[in-house]
Amino acid sequence: MKFQAFLPLVTYPDPNAEAVVAHAVAVASRLDAVLHARALIPDFPPVSNTLSRLLLDLPRVIEDTEAASHERGANLLAEVRKSAAAAGVEATAGEITAPLAAIGDAAAAQARYHDFGLVGWESGNAASQMIAEAVIFGSGRPVVLLPELWDIAAIDHVAIAWDGGRAAARAVADAQPLLAHAARISVLTVTDEKPLQEKDPGERLAEGLRRRGLPAETAALRTEDCPISETLQQRAIERGCNLLVMGGYGHSRIRDFVLGGATKGVLGDLLMPVLLSH
Could you tell me where in the chain the CATH 3.40.50.620 domains are found?
4-147, 157-277
CATH class of the region 157-277: alpha beta
Averaged pLDDT for residues 66-79: 96
Query: Sign of dihedral through CA atoms 223, 165, 274, 26?
Result: positive
- What lies within 8 Å, CB to CB, of 183 at 6+ separation is 156, 157, 215
For domain 4-147, the question of CATH label 3.40.50.620 is answered with yes
Contact 272, 243 (CB under 8 A): yes
Would strands 184-190 and 157-161 be described as parallel, antiparallel, or unpaired? parallel
Q: What is the mean pLDDT of residues 86-99?
A: 97
**Which ranges in 126-259 belong to alpha helices (H)?**
126-138, 166-174, 176-180, 201-211, 228-238, 253-259
How far is Cα 183 from Cα 160, in angstroms, rounded to an integer? 14
Asked if residues 267 and 129 have their Cβ atoms less than 8 Å apart, the reply is yes
pLDDT-wise least confident of 57-66, 89-98, 241-250: 57-66
193-233 tens-digit pLDDT: 666 667 789 999 999 999 999 999 999 988 777 788 888 99
